Amino acid sequence: MSKVATSGSESVEEDSASVLSIGELVILVCSRWRLILICAVIVLACGLAAFLIVPKKWHATMTVFIGKVAPIVIESPDQLVARVMTPDFRGKVLASATYTDKDVNDSDVRLFKQSLTASVARNSDFVQIEFSGYDREILDKFGAAISKEIEAVHAPIYNAVNKRFERELKDITDKINDLQFERERIEKQIKSLQASGDHQSMSTAVMMSMLSNDTTQAGMLMRTRLDLLRDGSVSVLFPTQISPVVRDERPYFPTLGSFIGLSLAFGLAIGVLLALTTRRK
């Protein structure tokens, strides 16, 4: 019985001896600092190489100020956002950017489809569109295609309303000019009659009635013209305006700082692990 107890205590002592305390671990890690440093440098070099090899991703934004055709917007911001996010819109943009169905696996196409987003600026008619690309020139290409697709829907609506406004304004202006010409003609006839001493004749009375009627009509047309000008002012009737593509000055991925930080952390972790597992007994 004593022998069993003795052997048991000895095994416990051996196990406790094989387990290092925190202080001993720190001493061990510090004693293997060269190994840890070598691992950190190697992994850092690999990380820098990966940073140079990994394709850079650039971010771009566009702002759309939706036009108005008095008194409503051409397309509500929420409708435009929903339309931008549809596969049909993306397909038209890619087709406009000279991509075909065969390019579905192209890296630029995949990144554009994954990154394209649209959102409404709070309490406004502004819509912000964001997307990414592997090249800054590609961003301009996609931006031009997006503008083309938005204008393809908005421009015809605005142009139709604007042409109708211009036509109505021209018609009213022509009528006002015709009435003005007629009034001048009648005034000349009245003056001629008055110069001849005919003040109370039927002709003079008719002319005066016609002049009063033309003046009334001219006043009504002037008020209608003012109302039309108000409805067609730049605050009520204007086309959709799309800002140029705004590209970030630097790629958002990869970033040098993140690659260096992750590489050093991973290298140090590998070094410490090797230092602990390869320690001399």
Q: What is the pLDDT of residues 227-255, one digit of tens each?
A: 766 766 656 788 999 999 998 888 888 88
Query: What string of DSSP letters covers 8-73?
Result: HHHHHHHHHHHSPPHHHHHHHHHHTHHHHHHHHHHHHHHHHHHHHHSPPBEEEEEEEE--EETTEE
With beta carbons less than 8 A apart as the criterion, state whether 42 and 267 touch.
yes
Res 163: pLDDT: 87
Residue identified by tokens 């569109």 is 129
Position 206 confidence tier, pLDDT thresholds 50, 70, 90: confident
CA separation for the pair 28, 44 (Å, rounded): 23
What tokens does 143 get?
A: 């931006």
- Per-residue CA distances from 180 to 74, 169, 226 (Å): 37, 16, 17
pLDDT over 90 (residue 128): yes
% of the chain with per-residue pLDDT over 70: 81
Residues of 28-55 as b/e, b for ≥16 C-beta within 10 angstroms?
Answer: ebeebeebbeebbeebbeebeeebeeee
With beta carbons less than 8 A apart as the criterion, state whether 221 and 227 touch.
no
Res 234: pLDDT: 56
pLDDT over 70 (residue 181): yes
Res 64: pLDDT: 95
Rounded average pLDDT over 255-277: 84
Lowest-pLDDT range of 67-76, 173-182, 191-200: 191-200
Whether the link from the prior residue into 71 is cis, omega within 30° of 0, is yes
Res 12: pLDDT: 42
pLDDT over 50 (residue 281): no
Say which residue, 124 or 42, is predicted with more confidence.
Answer: 42
Position 198 confidence tier, pLDDT thresholds 50, 70, 90: low
With beta carbons less than 8 A apart as the criterion, state whether 90 and 99 touch.
no
CA separation for the pair 144, 135 (Å, rounded): 15
Q: Supply the mean pLDDT for the chain.
A: 80
Rounded average pLDDT over 245-273: 86
3-state secondary structure string across 163-218: HHHHHHHHHHHHHHHHHHHHHHHHHHHHHHHHHCCCCCCHHHHHHHHHHHHHHHHH
pLDDT over 90 (residue 81): yes
pLDDT over 50 (residue 188): yes
